[in-house]
Structure 1
Amino acid sequence: MNIEIERKFLVIGDFKKKAIESFRIAQGFLSTVPERTVRIRIKDEKGFITVKGIGNESGTTRFEWEKEISLIDAENLLKLCEPTIIEKIRYIIPSENDLFFEVDEFLGKNEGLLIAEIELPSEDFKFAKPDWLGDEVTGQKKYYNSMIAKKPFCNW
């Protein structure tokens, strides 16, 4: 069992010059039931299926299982997903203690939305917050990708 501990933030400043890597992502959801969200993702030319459990009260911790699948399977499963398919560019930005921020620049119906995530070794782990990081949105359901797919940023 994998437990994911992460915090999410809005992005308010220039982060791109600090990125060491970026890639395109297309993802959709076969199920957005909170107890078992099932995501299909294409990251560059690789496919993945991910199952996430319900989060704890603060929204920082939840079960996550992911497996690589063929690109063809991922493309076919995306056709079965609930509306809307999310498209984004993910930037990887190093932080201290061998941690990384992942900044998602959303495209299409979610253009203009920028969200940074950082995975942590524990819920109370302290980390430096760069100046381009805005308000924390951890646990705010409207910022979950599964919710952004149902209610895109252009409709907020």
Structure 2
Amino acid sequence: MPNRHDIHVLNGLIAATLDSAERLDLIADDSESSGHGSLFSALAEERRDMARVMAATVTALGGQPDTSGSIFAKAQRAVMDMSHALMRDEAGLVDAADRGEAALDKRFHAAVADEKLSATTRETIRRAHAAIHRETTEVHSLRRSVDGQKDASNRLFPQ
């Protein structure tokens, strides 16, 4: 099958994107801030939309699209659940979202640089990566803001 590499890369990105959507849904559900919860829910839905677009590309290439996240992500979510149970705070949730989205951004960045991909597949991935990168920057800014609020509320912070 001449599209085997494209299908393999896309399916890996689909799994990672679905993992991200699940992680963002969990964070949205656990968030005590309605604004943060709404943001993470919206990002999760965007991730599912991206996965659908990539799945359609896999189908067009003659492959079977991945429809679930990875086993690694399930273990990662279990660790995140334990961590959140021990340290229930908004900053920890936002930090988890930031780390997860940064990892997804790096994965898409590497895929865009893959010279073995066809031009059409690379363009599909590039469009998804542009959105992910923009949203990752937004989540990172939110994390810095939440960290700043946490520091400012510390009694040792100069007033």
TM bucket, shorter chain: under 0.3
TM-score (norm 2): 0.26
TM-score (norm 1): 0.26
More strand by share: 1
Higher relative contact order (CA 8 A, sep 6+): 1
Larger radius of gyration: 2
